[in-house]
Structure 1
Amino acid sequence: MAEVTITTPRGVRLAGTFEPGQGTRGVLFAHGFLSDRHSSLRFDILASAYRTAGFATLQVDFSGCGASDDAVVTVAGEVEDLRSASAWLTEQGYPVQAVHAHSFGALVAMHAQPADVVAMVLTGALTGPMNYPWDQVFSAAQLDELEEHGVMRVPDDNAGSAREFSVISRQTLADYSLIDQEAIFRRLRVPTLFVYGGAEEDAELTALTREGLPLVPAPTRLEVVDGARHGVRDRIDAVVELALDWFAEHVPHERAG
C-alpha cells in the first residue's frame, strides 16, 4: 500500500493510503467525526475485503484530522476533501467509484456525491436533525473556549495518531445538529445502502432514516444488524457481506458509454 498526499482546491493537503485494484473500480472511504482513515480499524478490515473483491481502495484523513493539514472541521470542508479524493482516484485510473462512509462521514458523502461515485454504503448515517447534549460531550472549559473564540480544541484520541487536537467551530456543531433531511434525501442520486446497529444507541438514527427514505429518488435499502452498536464494528462481518452484495449489484465493472 502507498501513502499518498492529495491537495484540495483550498490548498489543504490530505494524507491517504491507496492500494491499486483490478479494472477501473475503486472504493473511497469517509470517516466519522474527528476520526481518521482507519476508523478504529473498521475501514482497514473493510478495505481488505474490497481489495479481495478486486476494488482499488483509498482511505483519507479529512482536513484537520489524522495526518492531514490543520483545518477547522466542518461539513463544507470535508465535502471539498471527499470530492478532491474522488478526483484523485479517477486520475489514477479508477473512474467507477463507490463510497463507504461512517456517521459524520456519511453526512458528508450525501452532501458531496462526487460525480464518479455510482453507489454508497453508509453505516450509522446522520440523516436528520437531532438534539445533542453538547454539555455532556464537551467540558465546560471547551464550551467557554467556543463561546469566547468561536472555535475549540478537541484532543485527538485515535490510536497511533500523532495529532494533538482537532479544531471545531459553532458551524461544526450546527452541521451535526441542524440537518435538512428533505434537502439531502431528495438530491441523493446514487443507490445507497444504510446500515445501522440494532442496539439502542442507533435507534433514533435508524428511525429518522426509515422515515425519510420515501423521499429518495435513487434505489435505497435500510439494514439493521441485530444487537450491533453504532457503526456495527462489533459485527463487521455482517457489514462486509451486505456491502459487497450492494456493490456487486450497483457498481458496474466499467463505466457505461
Structure 2
Amino acid sequence: MKKSARKRAIYVLAGCIAALALCIAGALALLRREPAAQDVHIPGTRGDIYATVQLPGKLARGGEMPLVVLCHGFTGNRAGDGHFAPLADDLAAQGIASVRLDFPGCGDSDEPFTAYTLHNMADDVESVITYMQTTYGTGRTALVGHSMGGRLASLYPQMKGGISALVLWSPANGAGLNGLEFLNIDDFSAVESLAAEAEANGTVSTWGVTLGAEFVTEMRNTDPNAALRESALPTLLTYSGNESILSDTTQAETIAAVESLPQGKVVLEPFAAGNHNYLSDDPATAARLDEDLRGVTVEFLVGCLK
C-alpha cells in the first residue's frame, strides 16, 4: 500500500473511532438523563392527591431507589416556594426519587381548607409513599418538610412509621398552640382566641382560609420536638436569619431537640440573609439561598439514604 493510501486509511479509521466515541458518549448521556417530572393523581383515603413525581435516570438506579417526600408549608403548594422542583432534580442526579404533593385545600387540591388537618396530611403522605413503592419499587424513605410541613414531618414517624431520615426547613414546632404562633406573632392571646373560636364554633377564618376545629385541636395536643426525641431519626434542621413568624423560643427549643439526637445536624449560617421561605428581594441572594438550601439537604439525604 502506498504511503498516501495508508495515511488516508489511518485518517478514516481515526474518524470512525471518534464518531463511535461520540455515539457512545451520547448514549451514556441519554441513559444518565433524568426523566421529566410527571404530574400524577395518586389515590388517597379521601380521593385523588395531586402530586409530582421525579425519578432518577436509569444509570442512577441500583436496586431499590431511595425516596424523598417533599411537604410544603401552611397555605402553600407543591412548588415549595420554588425550591422543590430544583431539589427534586438534584436528588434525581444522586439516584434518589422524589414526590411532592398538594395537601388538603392547597394548590390543586379539590378539598376545602377545613380538610387541612395533621391526620389527613399524614394519611396523604402515607398514600404517596405506598404509591411510589408499588409503582416504582422505592425503598428507604425520608421526609423534607417546610414550616407546617416540618411539623408534620416531625410527628409523622410516630403517627405512621417507616421513615429513615428527616429534613426540617424552619419547622413550626412550637409545643401545642405555640405551633400556631405565626397566625399573629405579635399577640399570642389573639392566637389563643382564634383557637377557642374554632373549637367552639367548628371553624374560624384567618390568613385568608377557614381553619377547622380538628386541626386546632390536633395542634393543641401535639409536641413535635418531643416526637423528634422519641423517634431519634437522623435529622437535619435549618432556620433562616429572618424568621419573622416563628418565635426565638420555638427556634431555640427545636435546635436543642435536634442537637440532642445521635444523628442530628443544625445548619444556620448560610441562611442568615433569608426570610422564613428562604427567599430574598435581592435576586443574587435568593439564588444563593436556594443553592445552599438544596446543597445541605442533598448532602444530608445522600448520606442517610444511600
Amino acid at match of 1:2: Q
Residue 134 of structure 1: how far off its partner (Å)? 4.3
Residue 220 of structure 1: how far off its partner (Å)? 0.8
Distance in 1 of aligned mates of 2:196 and 2:302? 49
Q: Superposition pairs for residues 172-251 of structure 1, below 5 Å?
A: 172-176=215-219, 179-181=222-224, 183-201=226-244, 203-213=248-258, 216=261, 218-224=262-268, 225-233=271-279, 234=286, 235-251=289-305
* Corresponding position: 1:67 with 2:108: yes
Residue 153 of structure 1: how far off its partner (Å)? 5.4
241-250 or 179-188: which moved more?
179-188
Residue 106 of structure 1: how far off its partner (Å)? 1.0
User: What secondary structure is seen at the aligned counterpart in 2 of 1:67?
Assistant: coil
Distance in 2 of aligned mates of 1:30 and 1:133? 18
Distance in 2 of aligned mates of 1:181 and 1:51? 29
Root-mean-square deviation (CA), in Å? 3.0
* Corresponding position: 1:34 with 2:75: yes
Structure 1 unpaired stretches of 5+: 157-165, 253-257
Distance in 2 of aligned mates of 1:50 and 1:119? 15
Amino acid at match of 1:67: D
Equivalent residues of 1:63, 1:70 under 8 A apart: yes
Deviation track 1:185-212 (CA, whole Å, cap 9, x = no partner) reads 2332421100110225254432121233
User: What secondary structure is seen at the aligned counterpart in 2 of 1:187?
Assistant: helix
Equivalent residues of 2:140, 2:164 under 8 A apart: yes
Judging changes above 3 Å, is the alpha-carbon distance between structure 1 residues 85 and 68 closer, same or farther for their aligned structure 2 residues? same
Equivalent residues of 1:104, 1:176 under 8 A apart: no
User: What secondary structure is seen at the aligned counterpart in 1 of 2:236?
Assistant: strand
Match of 2:171 in 1: 125
Deviation track 1:151-186 (CA, whole Å, cap 9, x = no partner) reads 245687xxxxxxxxx542133234446642453123
Match of 1:99 in 2: 143
Equivalent residues of 2:66, 2:139 under 8 A apart: yes
User: What secondary structure is seen at the aligned counterpart in 2 of 1:16?
Assistant: strand
Amino acid at match of 1:228: G
User: What secondary structure is seen at the aligned counterpart in 2 of 1:95?
Assistant: strand
Equivalent residues of 1:127, 1:179 under 8 A apart: no
Q: Which has the higher helix share?
A: 2
Distance in 2 of aligned mates of 1:125 and 1:174? 19
What is the number of equivalent residue pairs in this alignment? 239
Amino acid at match of 1:117: I
Amino acid at match of 1:211: A
Match of 2:41 in 1: 5
Q: How high is the sequence identity, in percent, across the aligned residues? A: 20
Deviation track 1:66-91 (CA, whole Å, cap 9, x = no partner) reads 21231521111111111111111111
Equivalent residues of 2:237, 2:258 under 8 A apart: no
Judging changes above 3 Å, is the alpha-carbon distance between structure 1 residues 143 and 116 closer, same or farther for their aligned structure 2 residues? closer
Residue 8 of structure 1: how far off its partner (Å)? 2.2
TM-score normalized by the length of structure 2: 0.68
TM-score normalized by the length of structure 1: 0.79
Q: Superposition pairs for residues 42-191 of structure 1, below 5 Å?
A: 42-71=83-112, 72-91=115-134, 92-113=136-157, 115-129=161-175, 130=178, 132=181, 134=183, 146=198, 149-152=201-204, 167-176=210-219, 179-181=222-224, 183-191=226-234
Judging changes above 3 Å, is the alpha-carbon distance between structure 1 residues 178 and 196 closer, same or farther for their aligned structure 2 residues? farther
90-99 or 72-81: which moved more?
90-99
Structure 2 unpaired stretches of 5+: 1-36, 280-285
Equivalent residues of 1:181, 1:212 under 8 A apart: no
Taking CA–CA contacts closer than 8 Å with sequence separation of 6 or more, which of the two structures ends up with the larger relative contact order?
1
